[in-house]
Amino acid sequence: MTGAAGQLGADLCRLLEARAAEPGSPVSGWAGLTRAEFDITDPARVRAVLRDQARPAKIQGGLVVFNTAAWTNVDAAESDEAGAYAVNATGPAHLAAACAEVGATLIHISTDYVFDGRAAKPYEVNDPTGPVSAYGRTKLAGEEAVRALLPDASYVVRTAWVYGRTGSNFVKTISRLARERDTLSVVDDQVGSPTWSADLASGLLELASSTAPTGVYHCTNAGETTWFGFAREIVAALGQDPAKVTPTTTEAFPRPARRPAYAVLSGRSWVDAGLTPPRAWDAALSAAFAAAGDALRG
């Protein structure tokens, strides 16, 4: 697994460790590698690591590579699209090519930002893409490279609004601001599905051991809200009055990168493949605070 130090990678490591310890588990061995250990932009390093990992994996039932490494600084990508492209597009291409050489399966994580945000209903996996930011363009290029180079042994899993106990994220930011301020203004004209990284990790592990056809999937916690609605739920989970959160507009808080106004991803393909439907986003948030409240409070 790549990107082991990130919020999704860290949760996937925790889950893999727990599953590997279970009697009769399909997880017979695993390795979580950080960027310092495994830079996916280095093709020689990618080939060497996958060849090394593939040898014992052939005996144990096959190698599955989870690519959770990504350039996720959306605004910084606007001024360094080449840097973002190297991580989000060229790196996945290296992984796909190396997986093809050793007969491995690749599960690659992508994003709602590949869409333009103009939809009025949840995006299906085959809906036309149209990223409106450098980040979205580089992530779409990564998807296309993975599917072109490894069509019969790759999964692209789009997700959205991810938060977890590791690293920085919206939940931690709102938790900090709620301690520091009497009121918070949060945009109420961007719609999406908050997704707990632990739930996403569980879904990815289920996908890896399933018979689901290869292709593109969407996996987020169910339902939709705005950043304003999400922030109110976070503040309520902190035991504070959610009324301290007030709505504002994207126009009032200009950022270097455009965000999709509507970025809800349909989970139909996920469910149709026989995979477990993720729980509702608000139930996941409650579970996240119960399991990792200290970390999420910052």
Q: Can you read off the two tokens belonging to residue 85? A: 């492209």
Q: Please tell me the distance from the alpha carbon of residue 203 to that of residue 274, in angstroms, as a whole number.
A: 12
Q: Can you read off the two tokens belonging to residue 28? A: 């017979």
Question: Could you give the C-alpha distances from 160 to 41, 114, 135, 179, 199, in angstroms and in order?
Answer: 24, 11, 13, 26, 12
The H or E element that residue 99 is part of is helix 91-102
Q: Please tell me the distance from the alpha carbon of residue 33 to that of residue 59, in angstroms, as a whole number.
A: 21
Closest CA to 259 of 129, 45, 116: 116
290: left (phi over 0), alpha (psi -120 to 50) or beta: alpha
Cβ distance 281 to 223 under 8 Å? Answer: yes
**Catalytic residues, which ones?**
135
The H or E element that residue 208 is part of is helix 197-208
DSSP codes of every residue in 147-206: HHH-TTSEEEEEE-SEE-SSS--HHHHHHHHHHH-S-EEEE-S-EE--EEHHHHHHHHHH
Q: What secondary structure letter does DSSP report for 223?
A: S
What is the residue whose two structure tokens read 């018979």? Answer: 211
DSSP-based three-state secondary structure for 2? strand
Q: Please tell me the distance from the alpha carbon of residue 122 to that of residue 268, in angstroms, as a whole number.
A: 10
